[in-house]
């Protein structure tokens, strides 16, 4: 349902690395290993959100019309928290506000958002909006699944099954979702099969497979590269990696959610630590005034709300549906990344095939940016020292910055070392100095290759 899209204007302001903002709705996706969810429920809720006409002409209010499973045995405080959560979910399903008109045609679209709880835990909302069956003009409705699992492709397939059953009868959704809820979440690369009966069609077996690489199962880079050219992707990456304020504007909700999650994924093995709202509801539009870093998605119809606000100085990336490109002047995003590494990134991105599959593109893009971090900050392993008689370690930041090679990388490394995402990453390393993951393996392979060529190499934790 989404066509090619391109940015038309940028506006940027440098902001210092500040502590994480108290997000009104959500903070950045931080977990890079969803595999720990294996064996848990696929989802917590399925809700159907309709638009109820209000007394004001042309005014509608999102309202939950169906919920599965129902939780009737909650304590009072739990019920109050659930009601707040469900109200927020309804707003994210229809973020554009209350002004709707009945429609006779409405192409379905799927998008996602992130909810952050008071304790910092995160839940993913997957939403499909469509026009309910019936005659005459009517407002759309939304199906929303809330899950701890971040896997957009998997839930898109689940929505296909829900939509197929909804066309026959609302009652047919319940047994399918019950079977899904009872099924364990498969480990990355594995498949779970759901048996479901449909009248007139008989018993169906639905296979749901998680990608082998769990780092990218919530990401599809195709939307990002339809919206931005390679050079613009690097500029947005530069602004993101230094934790600035960035606003994305698009017509379609699906485009917004896919682009924002793709931008966040470029940061691996680091993670965005600040406000992250892939689709900002109208009632939360004041978040654009926040002085702290953010990644925000704004629908085009809300654009006037931010362009009329003189205090909004974040970088704005406007995503249209045409293939033309026109960018206003930017500040330093095109010079933050060292020139040689810029060339290498552009060369790596340019190597992708024109008609790459989702998996092929994800591999090319993720490896290009992971290689960038290996070359710029991979030598951190040589500046982590074990504390005497302790299982923890200490990181020597000043020595790390001065040791960056080649020297042309040092300005970037110094700036990046001051970000919240780098600080959180290093804190984890200090607490778990001998815990080595995918990033460490890539660093070791690179350093071995460099040593073989006679280049520089860095040591490990001692």
Residue 173 pLDDT grade (very low, low, confident, very high; cuts 50, 70, 90)? confident
Q: For the whole model, what pTM was predicted?
A: 0.82
**Stretch among 200-214, 239-253, 359-373 having the lowest mean pLDDT:** 200-214
Report the DSSP pairing between strands 294-299 and 275-277: parallel
With a cut of 80, say whether residue 209 has pLDDT above it: yes
Q: What does pLDDT average to over the chain?
A: 81
Q: State how far the alpha carbon of 397 is from the alpha carbons of 153, 200, 228, in Å.
A: 39, 66, 34
Going by C-alpha positions, the residue among 342, 348, 341 that lies closest to residue 365 is 348
Closest CA to 28 of 264, 276, 267, 296: 276
pLDDT at position 12 is 37
SS3 call for 112: strand
Helix (H) or strand (E) holding 38: none
DSSP at 48: E
For position 224, what pLDDT does the model report?
93
Q: What is the percentage of the chain residues whose pLDDT exceeds 70?
A: 82
Minimum mean pLDDT among 20-24, 32-36, 50-54, 301-305: which range? 20-24
pLDDT at 10: 35
CA dihedral over 397, 401, 404, 409, signed as positive or negative: positive
pLDDT of 407: 94
Confidence of residue 314 (pLDDT cuts 50, 70, 90): low
* φ/ψ (deg, to 5) at 391: -85, 0
Residue 307 — pLDDT band, cuts 50, 70, 90?
A: low
| Average confidence (pLDDT) over 260-278 | 94
Q: What is the pLDDT of residue 416?
A: 96
Question: What's the confidence (pLDDT) of residue 454?
Answer: 64
pLDDT digits (tens, 9 = 90+) for 176-202: 999 998 888 888 888 999 988 877 777
CB atoms within 10 A of CB 239: 28
| pLDDT tens sequence across 404-433 | 999 999 999 999 999 999 999 999 999 988
Strands (E), 200-319: 202-209, 245-250, 275-277, 294-299, 315-319
Q: What is the mean pLDDT of residues 18-30?
A: 40
Q: Give pLDDT, residue 14.
A: 39
H/E segment holding residue 22: none
Q: Work out the average pLDDT over 114-132.
A: 84
Model confidence over 327-367: pLDDT tens digits? 333 467 778 899 999 999 999 999 988 888 888 898 999 99
pLDDT digits (tens, 9 = 90+) for 59-104: 888 999 988 888 777 777 777 888 888 899 999 999 987 778 888 8
Tokens 């701890």, residue? 148
pLDDT for 71: 74
Residue 64, classed as helix, strand or coil, is strand
- pLDDT number for residue 331: 63
DSSP string, 388-450: TTSS-EEE-HHHHHHT-SSGGGHHHHHHHTTSHHHHHHHHHHHHSTT---HHHHHHHHHHHHH
């Amino acid at each position: 349902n989404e066509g090619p899209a391109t940015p038309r204007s940028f506006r940027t302001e440098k902001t210092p690395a500040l502590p994480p903002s108290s997000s009104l709705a959500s903070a950045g996706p931080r977990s890079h290993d969803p595999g720990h969810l294996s064996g848990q429920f696929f989802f917590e809720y399925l809700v159907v959100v309709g638009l109820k006409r209000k007394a004001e002409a042309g005014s509608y209010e999102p309202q939950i019309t169906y919920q599965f499973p129902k939780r009737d045995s909650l304590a009072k405080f739990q019920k109050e928290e659930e009601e707040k959560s469900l109200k927020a979910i309804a707003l994210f399903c229809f973020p554009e506000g209350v002004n709707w008109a009945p429609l006779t045609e409405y192409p379905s679209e799927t998008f996602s958002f992130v909810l952050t709880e008071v304790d910092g835990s995160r839940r993913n909302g997957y939403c499909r909006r469509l026009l309910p069956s019936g005659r005459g003009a009517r407002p759309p409705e939304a199906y929303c699944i809330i899950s701890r699992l971040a896997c957009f492709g998997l839930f898109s397939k689940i929505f296909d099954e829900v939509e197929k059953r909804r066309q026959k009868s609302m009652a047919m959704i319940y047994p399918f979702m019950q079977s899904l809820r009872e099924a364990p979440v498969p480990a990355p690369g594995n498949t779970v099969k759901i048996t479901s009966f449909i009248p007139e069609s008989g018993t169906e077996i639905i296979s749901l497979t998680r990608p082998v690489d769990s780092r990218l199962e919530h990401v599809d880079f195709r939307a990002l590269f339809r919206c931005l050219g390679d050079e613009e992707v690097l500029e947005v990456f530069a602004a993101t990696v230094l934790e600035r304020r960035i606003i994305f504007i698009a017509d379609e909700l699906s485009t917004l959610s896919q682009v924002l999650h793709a931008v966040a994924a470029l940061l691996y093995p680091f993670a965005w630590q600040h406000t992250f709202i892939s689709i900002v509801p109208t009632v939360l539009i004041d978040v654009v005034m926040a002085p702290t870093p953010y990644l925000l998605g704004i629908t085009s119809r809300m654009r006037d709300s931010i362009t009329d606000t003189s205090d909004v100085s974040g970088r704005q990336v406007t995503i249209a549906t045409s293939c033309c490109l026109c960018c206003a002047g930017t500040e330093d995003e095109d010079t933050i990344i060292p020139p040689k590494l810029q060339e290498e990134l552009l060369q790596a991105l340019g190597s992708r095939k024109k008609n790459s599959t989702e998996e092929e593109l994800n591999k090319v893009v993720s490896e290009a940016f992971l290689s960038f971090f290996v070359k710029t900050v991979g030598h951190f392993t040589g500046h982590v020292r074990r504390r005497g008689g302790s299982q923890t370690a200490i990181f020597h930041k000043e020595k790390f910055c001065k040791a960056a090679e080649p020297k042309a990388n040092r300005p970037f490394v110094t700036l990046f070392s001051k970000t919240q995402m780098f600080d959180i990453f290093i804190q984890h390393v200090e607490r778990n100095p001998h815990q080595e993951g995918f990033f460490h393996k890539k660093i070791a392979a690179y350093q071995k290759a460099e040593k073989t060529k006679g280049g520089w190499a860095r040591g490990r934790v001692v």
